[in-house]
Amino acid sequence: MADTPTTEPAESVSTDGIGAIVAASVGSVALALYFYYVRGDKQRGLFVGLWPVTILALASYLKLEEIKRAIESLDS
């Protein structure tokens, strides 16, 4: 008999904190635009503009690790 797909790993992964992560990323974009255009500090604006990518990449990595643990717990 073939393995049937299950949604248990997907259901066990929480979405807590996703809104805060997106808010932090959007906030850092706004801060970067502020530094770049309003304050005229282009170097700081570019530096702060790199933060959203880093924040979202870290959040994605942590979420993938959580999914990996959920799948491994089903295999055990």
Residues 59-70 pLDDT 10s:
999 999 999 999
Write down the pTM of the prediction. 0.72
Contact 9, 67 (CB under 8 A): yes
Res. 17 pLDDT band, cuts 50 70 90: confident
Query: Given CA atoms 19, 58, 34, 39 in this order, what sign does their dihedral have?
Result: positive
The Cα 45–Cα 71 span in angstroms is: 40
* Per-residue pLDDT tens over the stretch 32-62: 999 999 999 999 999 999 999 999 999 999 9
**Bigger pLDDT: 40 vs 8:** 40
Domain ranges of the chain: 24-75
